Chains A and B, each alone.
Chain A
Amino acid sequence: MAAIDLALPTPRRVRNESFAARTLRRLARHRGALIGASLVLVIALAAVLAPVIAPFDPADMGVGPSLVGPSREHPMGTDTFGRDIFSRVLHGARLSLGVGLLAVAISAGLGILIGLLAGYYGGLLDDILMRLVDVLLAFPGILLALAIVSVLGISLTNLMIAVGIGGVPSFARLIRGSTLTVKEYLYVTVARSIGARDAAIIARHILPNVISPIIVYATLRIAFAIIATSSLSYLGLGAKPPTPEWGVMLSDGREFLRVAPWVTTFPGLAIMVSVMGVNLLGDGLRDVLDPRLRV
């Protein structure tokens, strides 16, 4: 039961080292996690190396004839403007991964803050924050992001913020729950009794112990963020053409689905491979870190 170990009041530095090493060792033996990590690595490499390995500029029109199928020169074919789809898919990885990671960083950052405050202080503050969380959770799925985009205006940055805020309530809930448990531990009482300030107790004693349980959740949320941003971009509520964003590319290719299916197939595959990679890695992490959470 790894999760119980995590909550033990052992010194932080020592535990973190062994924790990371142990997690990595177990992950390396987990078949799904290995496949997931490889897929994520491929996408991450594509994202980082896109400017180097992309044969053409993703925005350049007429680098090939319009709508030709996959060939040696254009491994994924060209779109209606004669742009190279392979180059666009590679650059799309930068956007999708970047936006996915940042959106989850927003969700986790705000969610952790709200969860810690609500869980640690309790009382009226807890009531107010948790009622707010309940209200936000009443907007199903991507609808909260949709509502926020309609307020902020349509752009990829606003979409990222919207998807990020959309994820805050679930993080806040999880963190509040673990904070409620951790704050009752003896070492927190001890810290308080020797006069440690609240901020120090939260930062030094509670935060490290509530973060590890949400690593898995945060990983799986990246998959959701990638799907949500590409979906809303497909609807025309995020990135705009000619941005090489995968959702936008699918929306551009929709018209030519019958004659040029490759225009939508490759960005679609790219989304699926990234999301699958992140999901497999997240499932693997969950099995390794906390077998009780297995679904």
Chain B
Amino acid sequence: MTAYILGRLASVVPVLLGVSLLVSSMIYFLPGDPVQSMLSEMSGTASARITPEQIESLRHELGLDEPFLIHYAKFVGRAVQGDLGRSYQSRRNVIDAIMEQLPATVQLTFAGLGIAIVVGVGLGILAALKPNSFSDNLSMFFALAGVSMPEFWLGLLLIFTFSFSLGWFPATGQGGIERLILPAFALGIRAAATIARLTRASMLEILNQDFIVTARAKGLSNRVVIVRHALKNALIPVVTIVGLQFGNLIAGAVIVETVFARQGIGQLAVNAIRSKDFPMIQGTILFAATAYVLTNLLVDIAYAWLDPRIRYGRS
């Protein structure tokens, strides 16, 4: 197990180095002059009015006047110390801005994940218990609709139905569980749909296996067979997909935060792209990718711990 964890940890390092290489080269090899567009975006003046001195000083601040490898080495050196540069828009430290927005995004992502797992596994089991029945068809239709709906439209539908028409929840903003429920649903439903289909398929496969027949033959009640024997085994592949869906949730949070006008790293990133605030774009994207890689690392380790066959299967 230790060897597996160490091996897995070692495999993450080159990926993160590659990610930082791509992100740091974003400004460096950009077509057109990002420095010029940042300056004109900032000052609101036409690019003709920007002096060469302004350009030179910003190029220096961003380290663009150095050879790329030095630029990259400094970028990584600072990043591992938690320094992602300063926003060109607000002049704040990028990492401070991210840390300030992080709780809102984490809250939303985990609430979305919770809904995805509860709704997804629930529907999947419901569908698998009576294959091809009405409840199966209904659950799978729901799953199909769920994967086919973009988060932003589902979000608008939820706002229209539950806040404008029924008045149950506030439409937008921050704070309190009542402002979290709708965004969490908008974020979680697509992942729930994927999880539901996988849970159903996995349950059906397990329910046809010999040990389930044996358990039933022993006279165990249906509930014990389903919960204790089938579900436990059926959920193993579901754990992996949950890890992968986590990435979609991080990306989906970008959209859901905008739809519900919530704070968060997604909003930070979208605003940064709109205003060409490159240090902030780099910081948020590097942060999100790192979070995703590390989460998958944790999921893999958890998976290997749950299912020892994995450790020998992969190398």
A11 interfacial by beta-carbon distance below 8 Å: no
B118 interfacial by beta-carbon distance below 8 Å: no
Q: How far is the CB of A268 from the nearest CB of chain B, in Å? A: 4
Are A143 and B288 neighbours in the complex by a CB distance under 8 Å? yes
Q: How far is the CB of A267 from the nearest CB of chain B, in Å? A: 8
B203 interfacial by beta-carbon distance below 8 Å: no
For A258, the chain B residues whose CB sits under 8 A away are: 160, 164
In the complex, per-residue mask of A215-232: 1 if CB is within 8 Å of any chain B CB, else 0: 000000001000100110
Total interface residues on B, using CB and 8 Å? Answer: 51
Are B273 and A141 neighbours in the complex by a CB distance under 8 Å? no
Are A147 and B285 neighbours in the complex by a CB distance under 8 Å? yes
Q: Which of A4-51 contact B (CB under 8 A)?
A: none
Max chain A C-beta neighbours (<10 A), residue from B21, B22, B201 = B22
In the complex, per-residue mask of A239-274: 1 if CB is within 8 Å of any chain B CB, else 0: 000000001001100100110010010001001100
Q: How far is the CB of A69 from the nearest CB of chain B, in Å? A: 14
Cα–Cα, bound, A48→B251 (Å): 32
Cα–Cα, bound, A116→B31 (Å): 29
For B147, the chain A residues whose CB sits under 8 A away are: 223, 275, 279
Are A272 and B292 neighbours in the complex by a CB distance under 8 Å? no
Are A234 and B152 neighbours in the complex by a CB distance under 8 Å? yes
Binding-face segment, A71-79, A128-136, A204-212: A128-136
Cα–Cα, bound, A258→B26 (Å): 41
Q: How far is the CB of A244 from the nearest CB of chain B, in Å? A: 16
Are A264 and B156 neighbours in the complex by a CB distance under 8 Å? yes
Are B156 and A231 neighbours in the complex by a CB distance under 8 Å? no
Q: Which of B268-285 contact A (CB under 8 A)?
A: 269-270, 272-274, 278, 281, 285
Binding-face segment, B12-20, B55-63, B86-94: B12-20
A146 interfacial by beta-carbon distance below 8 Å: yes
In the complex, per-residue mask of A120-149: 1 if CB is within 8 Å of any chain B CB, else 0: 000000000001101110111111001101
A237 interfacial by beta-carbon distance below 8 Å: yes
In the complex, per-residue mask of B237-270: 1 if CB is within 8 Å of any chain A CB, else 0: 0000000001110111011001100000000011
Checking B30, B148, B156, B281 against A279 with a beta-carbon cut-off of 8 angstroms, the contacting residue is B148
For A227, the chain B residues whose CB sits under 8 A away are: 150
Checking A139, A146, A231 against B273 with a beta-carbon cut-off of 8 angstroms, the contacting residue is A146
Are A295 and B148 neighbours in the complex by a CB distance under 8 Å? no
Q: Which of B22-81 contact A (CB under 8 A)?
A: 22-23, 26, 30-32
In the complex, per-residue mask of A275-295: 1 if CB is within 8 Å of any chain B CB, else 0: 110011000000000000011
Are B258 and A235 neighbours in the complex by a CB distance under 8 Å? yes
Checking B15, B26, B156, B270 against A147 with a beta-carbon cut-off of 8 angstroms, the contacting residue is B26
For B1, the chain A residues whose CB sits under 8 A away are: none
Cα–Cα, bound, A130→B21 (Å): 16
For A251, the chain B residues whose CB sits under 8 A away are: 152
Size band of the A side of the interface? 35 or more
Are B153 and A135 neighbours in the complex by a CB distance under 8 Å? no
Are A295 and B201 neighbours in the complex by a CB distance under 8 Å? yes
Known: A140-B247, A235-B254. A272 touches B149 (CB 8 A): yes
B151 interfacial by beta-carbon distance below 8 Å: yes
Cα–Cα, bound, A257→B153 (Å): 11
Q: How far is the CB of A238 from the nearest CB of chain B, in Å? A: 11
B residues apposed to A, CB below 8 Å: 14-16, 18-19, 21-23, 26, 30-32, 144-145, 147-153, 156-157, 159-160, 164, 197-198, 201, 246-248, 250-252, 254-255, 258-259, 269-270, 272-274, 278, 281, 285, 288-289, 292-293
A residues apposed to B, CB below 8 Å: 131-132, 134-136, 138-143, 146-147, 149-154, 223, 227, 230-231, 234-237, 247, 250-251, 254, 257-258, 261, 264, 268, 271-272, 275-276, 279-280, 294-295
A-B contact pairs, 24 of them (CB 8 A): A132-B18, A134-B14, A138-B15, A138-B18, A138-B293, A139-B19, A140-B251, A143-B254, A146-B251, A146-B269, A147-B281, A150-B26, A231-B150, A231-B152, A231-B255, A237-B273, A247-B152, A258-B164, A264-B153, A268-B150, A271-B150, A272-B153, A275-B148, A276-B144
